[in-house]
Homo-oligomer: A and B are copies of this chain.
Amino acid sequence: MATISDVARLAGVSTTTISRYLNGGRVRAELAIADAIEELRFRPSPAARSLKLGVTHSIGVVVPDIANPFFAAVVKGAETVARSREYSVFLYNTEESADREEEVLAALADRVDGIILAPATEPADVSPVLRRAQPRVVFLDRELAKTDAFDSVLVDNAGGARQAARHLLELGHERIGLISGPLDTTPGRGRHEGFVDEMARAGVELKPDTIQIGDFRQEGGYQCALRLLALKQPPTAIFAANNLMSIGALRALHAMRIRVPSDVSFMGFDDLDLAEILDPPLTVIDRPMEEQGALAMRLLLARIDEPNGAAPQRIVLETRLRIRMSTAPPRVLGRTSRTPKPRKQRKENHP
């Protein structure tokens, strides 16, 4: 590896001049320097620069599960923005574990200029590591309960869940099962609250056993669905609070030979790649995913550029109800489903 001194020697100037050239200053020996750099294949050492300047030009992105399509999309959006600004991204996967997250944050703090964090849980208080890094963290998808000292990019979880509840209510369902996420996470709690609240508003009370708390994973969704179906009075409709639990629940319905929507209606939070070609095509609450990551990265980079800029922002993205075929009016009691009523094909709505 050639160093700046090698270049200086070859070009016949001092390292100072090379440095100025590199950083866009006016320099006489421009050509000679360019040649020397070319010939030596010189690239400034990021480590040296970082040590001197105190910045790393890299961003840490911390997610609970990179294999979750939502977070994969988020990371994609974030990386694209970072690259366009010549930042690199460190990716960390916490496996939904608060302990791993704490480790990760500790390791990360000194290596990056900023952090995008999708916390595994909503900690009671801000991690000390984060506190030090204060102006350079943006929360993604999940926020901290106790503070508004940080930027965050969220989605309207309660609103989305409300849309779901309203849709099911309008179809005539009253016995509705909710497969909720963990209540100590922002989306888990938000979707739970929104859903229950909208039900209450319509005068429908959810009995405790029709609310099953899952873990945002496939297996959890599977188990919750099973429990719901085992009720003496199983629900006529089910709403799962995220993509992975939807898949798990769908598996359970499939295993139990429950027909959707004739036996029970089903919908989930977050769209799936295959949602349209499932049988039946899945009704979902959708939201911008790559955009959420891109937005978070833009916010963070702006914060780094302008540390004393505006007060922390809290950006909330809107959800959208995509009605497909997995939701329908409940079967009328006593009527057999042998000859299901023909249903008109519904178009997606564009709110």
Contact = CB atoms under 8 A, between A and B. Distances in A.
A46 B277 contact: no
Contacts of A75: 66, 91
A46 B277 CA distance: 49
A51 B54 CA distance: 13
B43 A47 contact: no
A80 B93 contact: yes
A298 interface: no
A238 B56 CA distance: 49
A202 interface: no
Interface stretch (A26-34, A104-112, A157-165, A341-349): A104-112
Interface in A89-120: 89-93, 104, 106-111
Contact of A90 (B65, B90, B104, B272): B90
Interface string A243-284: 000010011001000000000000000001110111100000
Contacts of A61: 91
A79 interface: yes
A67 interface: yes
Interface string A69-81: 1001101100110
A48 interface: yes
A88 B111 contact: yes
Nearest to A79: B93
Given A76-B93, A88-B107, A274 B276 contact: no
30 contacts: A1-B110, A41-B132, A43-B106, A43-B109, A43-B110, A46-B110, A47-B50, A47-B51, A50-B51, A58-B90, A58-B111, A65-B76, A66-B72, A66-B76, A66-B79, A67-B73, A67-B76, A69-B69, A69-B72, A79-B91, A79-B92, A79-B93, A83-B104, A88-B107, A89-B90, A89-B91, A91-B91, A254-B277, A278-B279, A279-B279
Given A66-B75, A88-B107, A272-B274, 15 more contacts: A43-B106, A45-B110, A46-B111, A66-B66, A67-B76, A69-B69, A69-B72, A83-B93, A86-B107, A88-B111, A91-B91, A247-B273, A247-B277, A250-B277, A279-B279
